[in-house]
Structure 1
Amino acid sequence: MPHSEWPSVAEPSAPASGAFVRQQAYFDAFDRVVAQFSGFEAPDPAVLAEVLADASHADLVCLFRCEELSAKLDAAWVMPESRLSATNLRHLSLADYPLLADTLAVGMLLQRSLLELPLAEQMLLAGIGARRIVTLPLLDRGEPFGLLAFFDEHDGNVRSADELRLLTMLGRQLAQGLVRFEVDAALRSERDRLAALVGATDDMVFELSAQGRIVRAWSSHPVLLHAAALEGRSLAQALPPPLAGALAAKLPAVQAGETATVECRLEGSHGLIWLEGSMRPVGQGGMVVLLRDVSASKRSALQQQALGDTLQLLDEAVIDLSADGRLVRASAAWARLRGLALRDLDGDLGSALMHWVHDHDMSLVQTALARLPSGSVTQRFRLYQESGELIWVEVRFLLLPPAADRTATIRGVLRDVTEVRLNEQHISQMALFDDLTRLPNRLMLDHALAQAIERARREHSKVALGFIDLDHFKQINDAFGHRVGDQLLSSLASRLSAVLREQDVLARWGGDEFVVLMPDLRDPSQIRTMAERLLEAAREAVLLDGLEAHPSVSVGFAVFPDNAESGEELLSAADHTMYHAKHAGRNNVCFYSDILHLKALGREHVALQSRLSAAIRHARLSVFYQPVVSAQHGEIIAVEALARWHDDTNGWISPELFVPMAEKVGLIQELSELVMQQAFPQLRAWRDAGLTQKLMLNISRSQLFSPVFVSLLVERLMANRLRPSDVIIEITESAALNDYARQLKHLRQLNSAGFQIAIDDFGTGYSSLAQLHEMQAQLLKVDVSFTKRLHTEAGRRVMQAIVQFGRGLGLDIVVEGVENLEAARYLQGLGVDYLQGFHFSAPVPAGVAELWMRLGLANKV
């Protein structure tokens, strides 16, 4: 503001010359303040305070910086002869001085003598020896950021309204200068920072006008003009035609507010140069262009592509793994190792390498990976092919150097060493066979057992293991000598081997003990058949030192996963069962399930009942599902929900044991409720997944007697968004005939509600034709006992009669207990509608049942 616009100081009590002097002092102060902000150096707060003191004639001038209710002393000036001190003013909490806080908050000037102030402010002035105060807020866009305080030692220095206006204008000029200097300093700092950032990179940065002219350039490139020479030129003038054209093509989009990407290739003195970057709008129509020389990465990518093409031709598979062991990239040879079509290779990407490593080899591979920081590592392990077959591979792992654009950290080179491994095994097989009998020894049995259990887990089949002990072998050795004993063992080994299936394994355990391993079992009845054959083979006459003898064996069988969860547990269970067979009289075969049943009849019975009760109360039983398939097409039309119990003490308990036990202790209704609680949400999930198969649900006699059962059943279905037509109710023939008139009423209620009814275990009761007709059932389930007799002519005639009987009533026929393809084909020929049994699938968890429902079982019929 020019001095001519400043108000003059007119003091009635002062001579005119004195007023002029005071006004001139303010003019001088204004010039000195302006001078403080004229350069790039930060103004000295102490100098500013001195200037203000010279103009105002105050004894003490303080410049405070304020933030909320806190005022921090920035500078102070004390007149040479004044006794005032700013020592107590270094930091003020304005909350303690309400008048100062209020005037600062509203941006007002304050002039008061000591006695005109509130008590808090009086104590503040008295503490520094002042009698008068003038405060002036420093404002930035109306908001206070500082405070000027003028203190007088005497009360007589009263400033007129004109002088206060001059002081206000001077304070405003000071505030504007401070704010402007800080803004300019921030802008300079930001520009310097931007220049430093750009200078620290190889990027080229241009600022363009709305017309596409280069306003400023921060960096350049050897193929371009110097940055300073680019400024002021158009794109066509400043840049090579390919780059200028690429940028010009993006101008309309960027002017419309979009961000555009730019790619360009230039001819350089040492070859091609690739530039990539972006254009984005800034300000009012301006643009910023950022370009980067990506020639090195482009050349590297081309080299990598050439290397990758070469890798596809190699027999060795090259894979890259992420830090957590997942497959990131793989060459074509990986597909050959895995037995995949090349087009399916991408399906393996993203999966963990351990997914295809044999369980027993996982620790070897993990150890090898852990040793990588010390250098490359070579390891052999077994790898699963897509078909489930195992091959031996040898891998060399090495760490990849860190790179910002690389997700893989480990590289592996693999080759198939299956043939090499087999040759090595052939050399070492002498250590795997018994010298006397030429049978596999314990070591080989352990390996075969581990593989059998692995397949059983994967394919949901069973593994049977039988311990065989030669009865009275010690007496034979004592009577005839070890030579004859060895002959007997060799003879027995040959005869037992002769009755085995091709996939079975007979091993010598040691002494007079053998072990038979039966893998890949689908039909449990094969175990008992095999046990009988073993007993018969052992009893065949043999000449011992010219004398005819009829040796015998004691056999104990256990089954995975029914009786054990691992190979070690299976061996222990079979061994224990064999000793039970010896103690039961020798020349005998026992099954682990038989031992469990016998225990249950004794002291264990009460304990098992107690654990069953607890398992039902705490919902620790599982629901498995067994498919019911179309006899003609193999399509699964329904799954039967079946309770399964794994006891912590005895493992899996046969339902033939715990279901009658639940009936005996009065928990059969709770068991049925538990099945529904698990099966209905599962059925809902299958419906949501698009599956339409029905659920077959067994209900107990007590449930059928309950007058509220039907309504409760419908409520539970509705709670899971299901309908009665989604469920087939299975009622045993004997349960339906119990109190027939009363049951008939409930069966009709079920029919009216929309449920289908299946008469289960048909043939075990004594229902008449009239009764079956009145039951209004839709399906007839033929009991498994009839299916087991299909190998006899009489059994086939009975089955034919049952089918004709059901057909005459208009019922669909379901045959249970179908254990082999021969039975399935025969029943198919009879015109049976549906089949159920281990030939198609054992009861399985929900996930496996869902897989069967999606794939069907057409290959089984």
Structure 2
Amino acid sequence: MENNSGNQLEKAPLTPNLKGRRFRSLRWKISLGSSLILLAVVIMFCFISYLGLMANFDNQRDVEYRRYSREINSLIKNTSQNLYQLAEMIPFLDEMKNALIKSDGEGISKAFDQHWALLQFHNGVEFIHFYNQANQLNASWDSLDTNIDGNTLLSTWVSHVNQSERPINPLLCRESCIQYIVSPLLVEGKKAGVVVMGISLADVFLAFKRIAGADIGLLIKEQNNLLLQNDFDFLRWNVHIPALTNKERNREILNKAAQIYPEMPSLNDGIQIRWNDQYQQLKLFPLNSYEPDKAHLVVITDVTAAVNNIHDSIWKIALIGLIGLIFSEILLFLIFTRLLAKLKDVVFVLPFLASGQFEKLRLSLASTDRVQRFSDEVDTLSEAAISLSLQLEKLEQEVSTRTTMLIEQKNALSKERDFVENLLDTAQAIVLTQNSEGRIISLNAYGEMLTRYTESELLGKSFLNILIPEYESQDSLSRFNEIHTGQRMQLRHEAITHCKDGTTRHVAWLHSHLSRRSADDPSILSVGLDVTEYKRVEGHLAWLADHDPLTNMFNRRRFSEELEQVLSRAERYRHPGALLFFDLDRFKYINDTSGHQAGDTLLKMVAGMLAQTIRTDDITGRLGGDEFAIILPEINASGAIEVAKKVLDQLSLAQLTISNRTHKISASIGIALFPEHGANIHDLLAAADLAMYQAKAMGRNAWYLFSDKDRSRERMHTLVYWKEKIEHSHLHDNFVLYLQPIMHVKSKQISHYEVLLRMQEKDGSVLSPADFIPAAEHTGLIHAIDHMVLRKAIAQVAKIYQAGFKVSFSINLSAHAFNDPELLPILKQELMTRDMDPACVMFEITETAALEDLPGARALMIEIRELGCGFVLDDFGVGFSSFYYLRELPVDVVKIDGSFIRNLSESSDDLILVNALCSVARGFGKKITAEFVESAEILSLIEKIDIDYAQGYYIGKPAPAATFFMKSDS
């Protein structure tokens, strides 16, 4: 009895907690909860599986729709191409050629009657009309009504094709869709009128059904809806159906779709309806007809099998999930029944810990232990309770001992607090604390130094109001309140912090929640790191990414972005604009003569002048080197020209004097308008670039507006292509030099060679100068080619001399070499660097080159001759002023033009003329060379005429230097 009463007393503490509450075993709670979770998982899995299957189904349909679109377009395109091929074949039919040339209607009818039935039967041609060049009908064959707006529209097409001489292939949809071809007739390269043919799209629909396996129909919108409502083929979308595969069945499907979706555009993305327990998908495809939005194709696909498969899959997944759910619940119920019986024994003895009956708890748990092979969590809990009783018993003994130690620890904490305060004062960061109202409680020494406030001045002040007022907002206050209440442990942000002296600093703040024991304790610890200098450097780097550091203008990348945005706005709002592209004349000469520092100073001056000249909304950029560009939004051609003139006038006023050398500033400006000359960056820059080179060709210090004669895209792209190709060849050293031997006629010895320029292609092919020199002259790259040829030729000659071959060479100069101030300094430098004998180098110039600037040519030739080099006058005899130039120019050798030599053995006139030219040249004391010597007979003739040198394929073809001087490779 005593034991029972004791047990009741010991369990008494549990009774008040259970009073009035119904007991539910954990095994039922766990089983029910797990059942709900598993059921939710099964439902979620079914839902996700359904979404995945539907998404896969939709993706497959999208692929099918794209395939349908391609098939439809391909079939219509093939129909149009077949008509065009038939039109081209008509002039070659029997007896048609003469009838078409004579524009004889009766003759055309008689000749074409025998072919009409064949075209109608085999090719499905519905009608054909023949018109003459005056747009008058000569003959026609028609199996359907082709009265298009009283033939007005057809006459318009015929007139257009007669004028443009280009075929058109309109698709016209009225009662049905007819594919037309209106093509000019050419007989032996001459116009013979126009032929008009038409073919129905019925075969296209049948071919589509055969290829795609889906039904297709044609929907044509009508304006007069009242007349069509009684039509069997009328739909409530205000369309009628002139063609539809599987018509009876699919018309019912379309009627139901029209009831469900009253607006026909709903079919653009594809819809799905259920009809007679079947699932049908409908997709609308617009036809690119002559009258936009007039006709559409509708494709009807049966997807019943795919939809039923999806439903079956979902039901199977649900059934398997429910079976797994039932099995799992039975297993969980059995497991928890035994487990909770053990847990119950442990729970009823735990109250002994609260009453301090540690020994009694250990005895009770020891009496309920059962011998088991494996332990589980309940056994672990029992062991933990025993261990806890031992620890609590030990802790009771230690409490009194630790109470004594607390006094000693309090003193130690005081010392630690002093240490922390000193540490905060030396930290290179703002450290302050706030109370629950956001008011400052403390501030470290670094914070005082940075903000210029003392701790006493900030004490009790609002952190947000006084230090970062811009950051104070309802959202900011709510986030700080979350830290005060502990809902949020940390907050990071950057803000402009205001100092007492009026300056600001950019500070990165970290606010942390602090545990409080009383209302006076700090609630937030705020640490601020000064990142002002970092932000300044970061901003400078961002600026450098978009600007040219020398001129402070936009660089090429940012300028291209700005141009793209301006072009987009101009297209959207239909505003015209202009692009000015220019470079500085003779800028390289200034760099070479006065140094790069002078060039940099000049570029800065130009940038400053542009800023003073252009409008506020205009955009300038330095695209590289001495190239500048200006975007002029919302401006016409005359306005752009005025801006170009202002730029040239402003630049002409400036001059740069360095080292007693004064340089004037001038530029060549190309103007391109948008969208007239280009709607994208590439085309617009290419047009402006070409215009700039046109300005250079006009004599520099000029502007040029890209005009209609420059609009040929083929010409522009060709020039751009050759410009890029020439620049690429310069960069990768793809220019090679060939030599052609020149023989001394009397001695038959070869001691002179002409240096010829070639361009090496990637595939190993070789291009002659005729392919790229015109483009180089037009784009201003000819000077660079002259310089390159001069350097490479002298280097090659020096290499040949070092190999022991003592010969002389002729180097060709372009017509632009005589207005190039850099040519003579380069020649002097190369001759000095290579230690060359100038006497072995001659330069060839043409009469055309000398004619452009006779005083300049003569002056340059005299200076070059003073170095020791010689001159050859090429193409002698072509111009009527040849004898005058022979007297005026200091040349050593004249080269008779090949047009007189090539036919010398066959033309007595050429023989007389060559004799006269040689007589005059010898009278002036010049040596004579004959080019285009291509046979032994011609060589024999020029030997009789007493010509000194011979050059041509009979003497030797142009080839690399190694072909003639093998030792030069060793």
TM-score by length of 2: 0.26
Higher normalized helix content (fraction of residues): 2
TM-score by length of 1: 0.29
